Structure 1
Amino acid sequence: METYGAIVVGCGGLGSAALHRLARELGPRVLGLEQFGLGHDRGASQDHSRIIRLVQHQPQYAALARPAYAAWAEVEEESGQTLVTRTGGLVIEDRAARRGVDSGTRNIEGYTDVLARYGVDHEVLDAAGITARWPQFRLDGGEVALHQSESGIVDAARANAVHVALARAHGATVREHAAVRSVRPDGAGVVVETDEQTFLADRVVVTADAWTNRVLRGCGVHLPLTVTQEQVTYYATPHLAEFSPARFPVFMWHGEHNFYGFPVYGEVATKLGQHMGGPETTAEDRTFEPDPVRRARYGRFVDQHLPRFGGPELYTRTCLYTVPPDQDFVLDTVPDHPQVAVAVGAGHAYKFAALIGGLLADLALDRAPAHPIDAFSLTRPALTDPAFVTAFHV
């Protein structure tokens, strides 16, 4: 039986980051196990781009936002690769469409209150101010927006590959097509079983997302996770200069639906998605077929508010969100089994991935986490109280 200091189960966004951080400390005593090929399209971390931002409406995430930028900068410094592209970012609230919607703190005032607490510079603009600066938008007049200059893009697929390469440079081993069937605490260590082989580790980090409950069965853990199938569409806009990263920001749109969009990046195309709202599924039952209802919804939004952003559809790509009932991360060790650490990204973790990798290394190596993560505990009511009411922001 091969023995390691730490094994990471799942080498997507969070797992590859944890692999890198653990390998920096443990070198060849680290093993990464990926059930598919590296860079596969079956989970949550594929594709070119994710939004990174200091703009958060909940303090537990605002506290991690600046450290996340610092963590990405460390990875860029070590690798010599550019992973973060600053474009500036907008949060646009369509107040007419949001009337009657219980948005909690997900309105402009909720964001600005938290930003003031954390000393994040920002501007609030009315509809005229938005279109004066970014005439690409077509607005109805009742919109209000928050602009923050440090928002931008993290290149997800490239960052995953960089994390794996750096981990290997520190001596870690990564095995593809090695599906983990069981993670079982055994004394102070952990037995990890794949179809082909059994391993023993001092510590295990589970970053299996939609497969989390299958992997954790041997720990006596079953989390109330909802898996949804989401999608993004790339448009081959002919107006490339107008939507270059230097001239057009990443944006989030809070209206009847919550959209998010990107300038031309990764493909010669713009990109639009909807946060949440996709059908429930499982890792086994999901399809790779785009939902025509949401595809048409995206087209209507583009036609109404960003007509030159659109163009021939390059492609629509699906992915999975794995979401606890409160839509917050899981970032903790298993109760009674501290040698097993778990992370679930809840569909919005990628911007923090480089930082979460370090926090998982802290948990795995029995250190106090470098930043506060109590809100993401496995023992919180959302995960332990059967009467907890699921509350997704869609």
Structure 2
Amino acid sequence: MDTYRVIVVGCGGLGSAALHRLAAELGPGVLGLEQFDLGHHRGASQDHSRIIRLAQHEPQYAALAAPAYKAWEEVEAESCQQIVTRTGGLVIEDRVARRGAATGTRNIEGYTAMFDRYGVAYELLDADDLVERWPQFRVRGGEQALYQAESGIVDAARANAVHVALARAAGAHVRANTPVRAIRPDGDGVVVVTDERTYRADRVVVASDAWTNQVLAETGPRLPLTVLREQVTYYATPHLAEFAPSRFPVFMWHGAHNFYGFPVYGEVATKLGQHMGGDETTADSRSFVPDDVRRDRYAAFVDDHLPRFGGPELYSKTCLYTVPPDQGFVLDRLPEHPQIVVAIGAGHAFKFAALIGSLLTDLALDREPAHPIDAFRIDRPALTDPTFPRSLHV
């Protein structure tokens, strides 16, 4: 039986980051197991781009935002690869479309409260200010916008590949196309079963996202996770200069639906998605065929608010969100088996991935995490109380 100090199950965004940080400390004592090809398109960590931002509406995430930027800078410095591109970022609230909706802290005031608390500079813009700065937008007059200059793009596929490469350079072993069939607590350690061989480790980090309950099946209760099939569309806009990263920011548009968009990056095309609007599915039954309802919804938004952002559809593609009832991360050891660490990104973790890799390393090596993560405990009511209300905001 091959033995390692730590085995990481799943080499997507969070798993590859943990693999890198663990290998930096333990070298060849670390093994990464990925059930598909590295860089596959079946999970949550694919594609060119994710938004990175200091704009957070809840304190548990606002506390991690600046440290996440620092963690990405460390990865860039070690690899000499650019992963983060600053474009500036907008949160645009269509207050007419949202009238009467229960938004909680997911509004402009929720974001500015966190900015003020953490001393982050920002600008507030009305509809006229928004169009004066970025005439690409079309507005009705009821919009308010929040601009923060440090927002931008973190290149998801590139980041994962860099994390894996750095882990290998530090001596870690990585095996792709190696599904984990079971993990079993074994005394103070863990046995990890694959089709070809069985491994033993002192600690295991499970970063399997939509496959988490399958991997944890022999370790305890099933987590109440909802898997959603989300979708983005790339538009081959002919107006490339107007939507270059130096001229157009990443944005989130909170209206009747919550859209998010990117300048031209990764493809010679702009990109639009909707946060939390997909159908429920499972990791194994999900379809890869894009939903025409979402396509039409995106096209209508572009026609109404960003007409030159659009163009012929280059392609639409799907990914998965794996979401607890409160939409919060899970970053914790299993209470019954503390040698097993679990990470779930809840569909919004990639911007924090480089930092989460360090936090998972702290947990796996029995250290106090360097930043507060009590809000992401696995024994919180959202994950243990079967009557806890599920909240999947759209």
When normalised by structure 1's length, the TM-score is 1.00
Q: Distance in 2 between matches of 1:290 and 1:29?
A: 41
Match of 1:148? Answer: 148
Given residue 99 of structure 1, which amino acid in structure 2 is its aligned partner?
Answer: R
- 2:100 matched to 1:100? yes
Q: Distance in 2 between matches of 1:221 and 1:230?
A: 27
> Which secondary structure does the structure 1 equivalent of 2:218 belong to?
helix
Given residue 128 of structure 2, which amino acid in structure 1 is its aligned partner?
Answer: A
Q: Identify the range of structure 1 (106-115 vs 85-94) with the bigger mean alpha-carbon deviation.
A: 106-115
Given residue 199 of structure 2, which amino acid in structure 1 is its aligned partner?
Answer: F
List, as ranges, runs of 4+ consecutive aligned residues in structure 1 with deviation greater than 4 Å: none
Q: How many residues align?
A: 394
Q: Distance in 2 between matches of 1:321 and 1:110?
A: 24
Match of 1:369? Answer: 369
Given residue 250 of structure 2, which amino acid in structure 1 is its aligned partner?
Answer: V
- 2:265 matched to 1:265? yes
**How far apart are residue 293 of structure 1 and its match?**
0.3
- 2:221 matched to 1:221? yes
Match of 1:171? Answer: 171
> Which secondary structure does the structure 2 equivalent of 1:252 belong to?
strand
Match of 1:123? Answer: 123
Given residue 269 of structure 1, which amino acid in structure 2 is its aligned partner?
Answer: A
Match of 2:70? Answer: 70
Q: Distance in 2 between matches of 1:212 and 1:135?
A: 44
Q: Distance in 2 between matches of 1:240 and 1:264?
A: 7
> Which secondary structure does the structure 2 equivalent of 1:338 belong to?
coil
Q: Distance in 1 between matches of 2:8 and 2:103?
A: 37
Give the alignment of 1:203-222 within 5 angstroms. Answer: 203-222=203-222
**How far apart are residue 218 of structure 1 and its match?**
1.5
Match of 2:335? Answer: 335
Q: Distance in 2 between matches of 1:292 and 1:372?
A: 41
Given residue 286 of structure 1, which amino acid in structure 2 is its aligned partner?
Answer: R
Given residue 52 of structure 1, which amino acid in structure 2 is its aligned partner?
Answer: I
Q: Distance in 1 between matches of 2:107 and 2:137?
A: 20
1:64-104 deviations in Å (ceiling 9; x for gaps): 00000000000000000000000000000000000111010
| Structure 2: gaps (5+ residues) | none
- 2:390 matched to 1:381? no
Q: Distance in 2 between matches of 1:222 and 1:71?
A: 32
> Which secondary structure does the structure 2 equivalent of 1:4 belong to?
strand
| Structure 1: gaps (5+ residues) | none
- 2:81 matched to 1:81? yes
Match of 1:353? Answer: 353
Give the alignment of 1:317-332 within 5 angstroms. Answer: 317-332=317-332
Q: Distance in 2 between matches of 1:308 and 1:336?
A: 55
Given residue 84 of structure 1, which amino acid in structure 2 is its aligned partner?
Answer: V
> Which secondary structure does the structure 2 equivalent of 1:234 belong to?
strand
**How far apart are residue 347 of structure 1 and its match?**
0.2
**How far apart are residue 221 of structure 1 and its match?**
3.1
When normalised by structure 2's length, the TM-score is 1.00
Q: Distance in 2 between matches of 1:77 and 1:111?
A: 30
Match of 2:255? Answer: 255
What percent of counterpart residues are identical? 76
Q: Distance in 1 between matches of 2:210 and 2:81?
A: 29
Q: Distance in 1 between matches of 2:362 and 2:87?
A: 32
Q: Distance in 2 between matches of 1:27 and 1:393?
A: 41
**How far apart are residue 215 of structure 1 and its match?**
0.3
